[in-house]
Amino acid sequence: MRLSVVVTVMLVASSCASPRDISHEDIRDAILSLVNMFRDMGGKLERHEHREKQLGDQVKKSLSGLDKKLRSSDHSLETISLSVAQLGERLQAVEASVAQSTCKASFHKMSVRMEELVLSPAGDEGNEVEQKRLDALGAGLTERLDRVAAAVDRLDGQLTRGEADKEKEGKRWQSLEDLERIIRLVESKVSQCTGVSASAGGPEDSSNWHMAFLAALDSHQNALDEVKQLAQATGKEVGQLPTRKDAERLHNGTQELLQEMRYELSSGSDMGIAKLEGKVMEVQLALGRGQEEILKSVTDTGVMSEALYADVTRSYDQLLKEVQGLAKVEQVLLQTADNVLDTKRRIEYGVHQILLEVGDLVKIQGKDLNDTVNRRFDNISSTILDNTNGAMTNLSSKIETEISQVWRQIGIMYQQLTASAGALDRLQMQTEIYVNGSLQTMDSMEGKVGQIKGRILEVDDNLNFLLGKLSLVTQEFNDIKSGLAAALDNIRGSFLSVQNKIKEVGPGPNPIPEGQGNPEGEPGEEENQVLPFNVDAQ
């Protein structure tokens, strides 16, 4: 009996322990693996965000640097435009000063006066003698006037050369005008560069170029100052040339001398001829001095004009070189601006592509992660349900098997109790007292059996509770067994005592004395009663 109960408990424990495919530890490990996977994905996303943040910071720094460079280039271009404007103003001032020092009209008037001096009329009054004398004197005067005319022609040639020099000077002024036009073109190019160089190179290149350009402008300014000084000196020298009033005064003096010569010729005296010769010599000397002064002034003016032309030509060549350098700088600035714009577009395209790739990667990884998590949870739930269903099926089968064994044991016990009831019935036939006691004992046993049946029904209704209390049932069964063993021992002893008494008294009805109603060693009513079967839940 005890062995069967122990075997039943062991089978139930083994059946409960056998279907252990997925446990809480497995579920915990799966959840921890999912948590670790989520952490890894979170770390990757954080690293991607950190890289994107670093890339954004680098792009911002590069854009801010480009902005600073553009601002510095704008400032340098503004200073260049201001310096070019100052250079234009200085050139205009030089042009005005040179324009004021022109003496084209004075040279023209001087040449006209000299031609008028050459074309002076002669008289033909007097008698024949006087005519001869006058012819001789006229021949001498003609010779001298020829020499004066030759001197005047030389002076005219010098004036013509002066006009040629003036034409050269006009060409120089034309070159100055061309220089001014080139400077205006440079200003327009600089203004265009100001609009284009919004994305030009670094501050070092712009500062170097600015310093070189300022140095070139300073050199041009110095050259133009020298040209201005030369032009002022030329203006002073031209101002020192004989003016129209001087030429008129000289012409008037010549006319007066000629008129005096006529008067002297009309008087017909040798003293007049001598005086006339003296006057002619004075006129010749005055004309020679005037010619020398005019030649000297014209020569100095030509030399200064040539020096001015050479300086202007040299300045023009230097300015042309600087303009070519500015054109090259403009080309470099345009190329740098194009390169900066291309780099900016490439950076924007790279950032946009990185964002798209990161977004696609995050979407793909999130989708894969969701699919993996859903699939894992589906597998876990299906596995748990399958294992639970299998475990419940196995447990129900085991419980049914064990309950059937319990019912079989109960049937065996019931058969044993039935056999005990038959034995008690046979004992009741032997003696009424013991039969009554046996009936009471059997009644109490039947009550116990009824309680056992009720408990078994409760156990059948509450199978899960019965599994937890099998040990208590086993203990109660042991108590019942011990109680039944004690009752059977008492019955056996009572049977032996009855048999002994029957053997002593003999057959037949024998009166039972009052004092011997409960003999010593005979079990009483309380001893024949079995203890109640207590299977209350502990």
Residue 110 belongs to some domain of the structure: yes
**Sequence-ordered alpha helix ranges (H) in 126-243:** 128-196, 203-240
Residue 356 lies in a domain: no
| Residue located via tokens 């030649």 | 295
Residue with tokens 């086993």: 474
Say if residue 224 is in the same domain as residue 147: yes
Quick one: 274 and 401 in the same domain?
no
Does 133 share its domain with 256?
yes
- pLDDT of residue 442 exceeding 50: yes
What was the pLDDT predicted at 367? 85
Q: What is the pLDDT of residue 93?
A: 67
Q: Are residues 277 and 425 in the same domain?
A: no
CA distance linking residue 357 with residue 351, whole number of Å: 10
Q: Which residue has the higher pLDDT, 415 or 26?
A: 415
Mean pLDDT is highest, among 18-27, 63-72, 159-168, for 63-72
> Does residue 451 or residue 278 have the better pLDDT?
451
pLDDT in the model for residue 47: 84
In this structure, are 263 and 128 located in the same domain? yes
Answer yes or no: is 31 within a domain: no
Same domain, 83 and 8: no
Q: Are residues 118 and 262 in the same domain?
A: yes
At residue 175 the predicted structure's pLDDT band, cuts being 50, 70 and 90, is: low
Closest CA to 141 of 281, 26, 302, 323: 281
Residue-level pLDDT at 165: 58
**Distance from the first to the final alpha carbon of the chain:** 22
Rounded CA-CA distance 524/371 in Å is 81
For 417, the domain range is 2-17+397-510+518-528
The answer to whether position 58 is within a domain reads: no
For a pLDDT cut of 90, what percent of the chain falls above it? 0
What pLDDT band is residue 284 in, cutting at 50, 70 and 90?
low
Across 264-293, average pLDDT = 64
Least confident of 224-233, 396-405, 447-456: 224-233
Is 377 within a domain? no
Query: DSSP character for 532?
Result: P
**What does the block give as tokens for 198?**
């919004």
Question: What does the pLDDT read at residue 68?
Answer: 79
Q: How confident is the model at residue 320 (pLDDT cuts 50, 70, 90)?
A: confident
**Closest-CA residue to 278 (of 296, 266, 260):** 260
pLDDT, tens digit, 9 for 90 and up, residues 453-480: 777 677 667 666 667 677 787 888 888 8
Contacts 24+ apart (CB under 8 A), 220-223: 220/87, 220/315, 220/318, 220/319, 220/322, 221/87, 221/90, 223/311, 223/314, 223/315, 223/318
Of 23, 24, 11, 3, the C-alpha closest to 395 is 11
pLDDT at 27 over 70: yes
Residue 294 resides in a domain: yes
User: Residue 218 above 60 pLDDT?
Assistant: yes
Q: Which two tokens stand for residue 221?
A: 């300014």
More confident residue, 118 or 274: 274
Could you tell me the two tokens for 118? 């050459």
d(Cα 97, Cα 527) in Å, to the nearest integer? 160
Tell me, yes or no, whether 122 lies in a domain: yes
Looking at residue 425, its pLDDT comes to: 74
Regarding whether 323 and 413 lie in a shared domain, the answer is: no
Give yes or no: residues 151 and 253 share one domain: yes
Q: Which of 286, 319, 335 is the last residue of a domain?
A: 335
Q: Are 15 and 392 in contact (CB under 8 A)?
A: no
* pLDDT computed for residue 528 by the predictor: 43
Q: Are residues 294 and 418 in the same domain?
A: no
Domain boundary among 287, 315, 335: 335
Pick the closest to residue 474 from 489, 462, 459, 490 (CA basis): 459
Please check whether residues 278 and 415 belong to one and the same domain. Answer: no
The pLDDT value recorded for residue 28 is 75
Average predicted confidence (pLDDT) for the chain: 67
Q: For the segment 338-389, what is each residue's pLDDT rounded down to a tens digit?
A: 877 887 788 778 778 888 887 788 888 888 888 888 888 888 888 888 888 8
Read off the pLDDT of each residue in 143-164 and give the average, rounded to a whole number. 59
| Domains of the chain: total | 2
317 and 428: one domain?
A: no
Question: Between 508 and 336, where is the model more confident?
Answer: 336
The mean pLDDT value for 141-156 works out to: 60
Among 335, 362, 386, the domain boundary falls at 335
314 — pLDDT class (breaks 50, 70, 90): confident
Residue 230 counted as domain residue? yes
What are the CA-CA distances from residue 95 to residues 99, 105, 237, 300, 488 (Å)? 6, 18, 18, 21, 156
pLDDT of 37-66, one tens digit each?
Answer: 778 877 887 887 888 788 778 777 877 776
